[in-house]
A and B are shown apart, each in its own frame.
Chain A
Amino acid sequence: MAYVRFENISFSYGDNQVLKDFSLSLPKNEIMCLVGPSGCGKTTLVRCLLGLSRPDQGEIYVDDVCMFSSKRRINVPAERRGIGIVFQDYAVWPHLTVKENIAYPLRKRRVKREEIARRVQNVLKQVSMSEYINHLPSQLSGGQQQRVAIARALMSSDSLIVLDEPITNLDAKLRDQMLNEIRELQRNIGTTIFYITHDQRAALHLGDQLAIMDPQGELVQIGTDEDIILRPKNRFIFEFIGVTNFLPLKFIDSAYHLDLGGQMVPWPEEVPPEVGGGLPLDMGIRPNDITFDGASPIRARVRRSVFLGSEYDYFVQAGDRELRVQQSTLDATLVGVAKEGSEVGLRFLNPHYYPAVARGA
């Protein structure tokens, strides 16, 4: 059941159309991650949902209540929408203690004092911040401040929370920990979470569903982690969610050949007819999907080999194309490490095919 619905939202800053006819539904009690490169309009969408920006057109519903409608001239002001929000910069108020910060949404709703005290205690326990109840934000670390912000969002609403890049300002180790905590919290409370990020890794970590936007602000694909990774809908998503190599495929003598610049090697894999059909293609492949196989006719020379602990990172040259190859340390001990300068054969697992684009574009 859709809990939040964006219907045909359009938004522009002056002449710059950020969102055009954007529609998206958030299932109830799930984590939906909206992923897109910076500047694609995802923060604008959040601001429209919260009532901080006003779309030019479209409708927004939360739990079937209309929050905005250009047609019916409805625009519920931000303070009446009852949506919890966690901003990237925490936005905890530095002049208020943890308790006062968290109690603020309840105070604005004229909740009784004892009730406030009880609920503050309760929510602090959930974010494991009970012992900091009387601290000022300046006495807390970034991660702790973000927990306060999450607690405050939970006070605004226990049914819908929006997290706008909440972990970007934290260091790497803390980031994973916060993601786990958010996940736990959602499991315990069952809130609907709308998580906005440019970091596909965080989204894969957290989301039940991922919605991916392209730089033009179009929604490209909605799906689970496996859908997105194994079946990316287009070239943009394939490139966006991980490191990629591209090699051109040319259709010569009724068969696809790998174009290694001056040298054509028959392409050993089957190209699905619906994408192929004789047109020139770009074959996309992830570094960890290339393996060394002495028997393969596709030959390459190892330019650089770098040991990174959990994996070996290679740059290999096939014809005049440079490819990046990753080999896990486990495989390296099984198959052996390729030395710099040596010749190797390449095998490609899980190739993806896209219509060729002009080089350099």
Chain B
Amino acid sequence: MINLRKNRDLAAMEGRRFSLDGMMTGLSFVLLLVIVVTPIFMIVYHAFFYEGKFTLDLIVDQLTRDTTIASMWNTIKIGALVTVFGTIMGVFYAWLLGRSNIPGKKLMRSLFTIPYMFPPFLGAMAWDLLLNGRSGYLNRWLMQTFNLSSAPLNINTIWGIVFVEISYYFPFVFMQVVSALERMDPTLEESARIAGARQGKVIWKITLPLVTPAISAGALQILISSLAHFGVPAILGFSQGIFTLPTRIYSVIARSGGSFEGIRQAAALSILLVAVVSLALWVQKKVLSSGGYDIIKGKSMRPTLINLRGARIPLFVLALSTLVVIVVVPLGMIFLVGLVRAYGLPLIPANFTLANYQRIFTTSGTLASIKNSLVLSISAGIISMLLGTLIAYVVQKIKPKGTGALEILSVLPYSIPGTVLAIGVILAWSGSLRINLYNTLWIILIAYIARYLSFSMKTSSAALLQVHPSLEEAARTCGASHTESLKDITLPLIRPAMVSGFFLIFLPAMREVTTSVLLYGPYTRTLGVQIYSLRDAGMMPQASALGSVAIVLIIIINAVVNTLNKDRRGV
């Protein structure tokens, strides 16, 4: 009888578990509704509705303007060129550093992923300092040396933009293909040699076709990133009147001085940009779902490396010079110009000074921008990490009705260009819904969270998938309640993934410029925005000095992440 009564109490306890799960599910939906659905809805609404009525006038009006057509054409042209050349470069170096006997493979492989860490707009800035049609250092030196009347090279062109974007986006293909080559079963190639094919033929007939899925996945990643990209065309294109859709949207807002009409126009342009990117996303989905081949290796075996013979040293030199051009030159340029007394002075020690650094660390605006970026990145990192893990848990473990919608909503903002997202956030949170966050850090924070949520959601999801249900169940049978097993087992196991999820958000947020440049107010400049505005105001040395600070910060954080990842306990 006593047993029976005890059992009733226990049965009641079981009910609470469901309410915990239910609470988590509900919270996930509400937060996604606020953070993700609202801004997207606002854009669509304002592009198609005017004063509560459906109208296509705005869209048609925008579509028929020459400026719109031109910037759309530029966007597509740049995207296509960057994709083609970036893919070729990525595949070539992946093969060279993955399958040949070139010296220093391991080190070079990590060096080749460096551009991935740094914001492209800093690179664009560096190349502008070097190859600007009027005042670039290299151009002036060439003109003086060879007595030329005009600059021989000009970075402020479509091709210049393409060049800089390639150097930052080719790692997408490079990294995918390197890892595909690594995972590939070497006997696939060996059996072709047994069949009588020579080394070269094997590469062409077997290796390349087998890594095609990796190549196309990387290529589409390049295409989508390039179409939505803001920084490089903004820095290199404005002075020459070269606009892409994201930079056009920015200039419409900037010129209208924040008027509602300007924002409505921007919303219409955003719809166009989303349409272009969606096309690429659709292709991506088709390609990815058509499936990769199963090329995972069975026995662990070292793949046979291809002997480059005579070409070994020349190719090594080529790889090294590529590294110099894409990494050393731009970073070096930023550091050097950051030291020079005034822009235009020769880059010799006599002209070097620390005054720029002194100035940026004493100017309140600049200091505040560093502080703002730190505050924003850390808060966005923590909030997205927690929210992403929450959603991941709901999606992977609770699996309520509407799991699919939850998953889609959380990754949706990632496929929306940052510029568009910013417009949506402005429309949603600057008073039209009775909440006005404009000119505060909050509005930027909301945009960051929406933009980066999918990063932590993906890493936490992957980690949770690794946590086999039996691990939690074992804890239950050991006497732990549902909450206790979450706390003792599941959370500790995915903690490393949550930490890397945090840094995956913190890093890009620190260098973000695309959304912040549309959302900042007088007191809410971010690091990226401040560099951008200093440069815009012609203060090149100060912009460079601040850029150097950003680079050093990024390097330090990366080093911390790498040490953290080295010895982690968990899945």
Contact = CB atoms under 8 A, between A and B. Distances in A.
Chain A in direct contact with chain B (Cβ < 8 angstroms):
yes
Interface of A: 50-52, 65-66, 72-85, 87-89, 91-95, 104-105, 108-109, 136, 149, 152, 155-156
B494 to A, nearest CB: 10
A109 B479 contact: yes
A127 to B, nearest CB: 16
B254 to A, nearest CB: 51
Contacts of A83: 477
Contacts of B4: 66, 72, 74
B109 interface: no
How many chain B residues sit at the interface, stated as a range, is 20 to 34
Interface in B1-36: 3-4, 7-8, 10-11, 13-14, 17
Contacts of A82: 479
B470 interface: yes
Interface in B548-571: 569-571
B190 interface: no
Interface residues of B, dominant DSSP: helix
B489 interface: yes
B484 interface: yes
B571 A94 contact: yes
A79 B7 contact: no
A122 B147 CA distance: 90
Nearest to B481: A79
B478 A105 contact: yes
A236 B565 CA distance: 53
Given A89-B470, A91-B468, A152-B478, A74 B7 contact: yes
B315 interface: no
B493 A85 contact: no
A311 B365 CA distance: 88
Question: 7 shortest A-B CB distances, which residue pairs?
Answer: A108-B479, A78-B476, A105-B478, A91-B470, A91-B474, A87-B470, A74-B7
A156 B479 CA distance: 8
Nearest to B17: A77
Interface in B196-238: none
Interface in B434-492: 468, 470-471, 473-481, 484, 488-489, 492
Contact of B477 (A50, A73, A136): A50
Contacts of B475: 93, 104
Contacts of B492: 95
B88 to A, nearest CB: 41
B479 A79 contact: yes
Contacts, number: 96
Contacts of B570: 94-95
A91 B14 CA distance: 23
A18 to B, nearest CB: 18
B468 A89 contact: yes
Nearest to A54: B14
A65 B3 contact: yes
A76 B479 contact: no
B249 to A, nearest CB: 47
Given A50-B473, A83-B477, A108-B478, A77 B569 contact: no
Contacts of A95: 492-493, 569-570
17 contacts: A50-B473, A50-B477, A52-B473, A52-B477, A73-B8, A75-B14, A77-B11, A78-B473, A81-B477, A92-B474, A93-B474, A94-B569, A95-B493, A105-B479, A108-B480, A152-B478, A156-B477
Given A93-B471, A94-B570, A79 B477 contact: yes
Contacts of B477: 50-52, 78-79, 81, 83-85, 156
B397 to A, nearest CB: 14
Contacts of A91: 468, 470-471, 473-474
A50 B571 CA distance: 26
A77 B473 contact: no
B15 to A, nearest CB: 10
A354 B481 CA distance: 51
Contacts of B569: 94-95, 136
Contacts of A89: 468, 470
A79 B480 contact: yes
A88 B473 CA distance: 13
A164 to B, nearest CB: 9
Contacts of A66: 3-4, 7
A156 B475 CA distance: 10
Which of B476, B478, B484, B492 neighbours the largest number of chain A CB atoms within 10 Å of its CB? B478
Given A77-B10, A91-B473, A156 B478 contact: yes
Contacts of A85: 473-474, 477
A81 B492 CA distance: 25
Contacts of B3: 65-66
Contacts of B474: 85, 87, 91-93, 149, 152
Contacts of A152: 474, 478
Nearest to A87: B470
Contacts of B571: 94
Nearest to A100: B488
Contacts of B11: 73-77
Contacts of A105: 478-479
A76 B13 CA distance: 9
Contacts of A87: 470, 473-474
Contacts of B470: 87-89, 91
A77 B482 CA distance: 10
A84 B479 CA distance: 10
A241 to B, nearest CB: 28
Contacts of A78: 473, 476-477
Contacts of A80: 10, 479
B11 to A, nearest CB: 5
Contacts of B13: 77
Contact of B478 (A51, A52, A73, A104): A104
B473 A93 contact: no
A351 to B, nearest CB: 44
A66 B11 CA distance: 12
Nearest to B479: A108
A356 B492 CA distance: 59
Nearest to A72: B4
Nearest to A86: B474
Interface in B76-121: none
Given A76-B11, A85-B473, A91-B473, 4 more contacts: A77-B14, A91-B468, A104-B488, A108-B478
B173 to A, nearest CB: 34
Contacts of A73: 8, 11
A106 B473 CA distance: 16
B225 to A, nearest CB: 36
Contacts of B488: 104
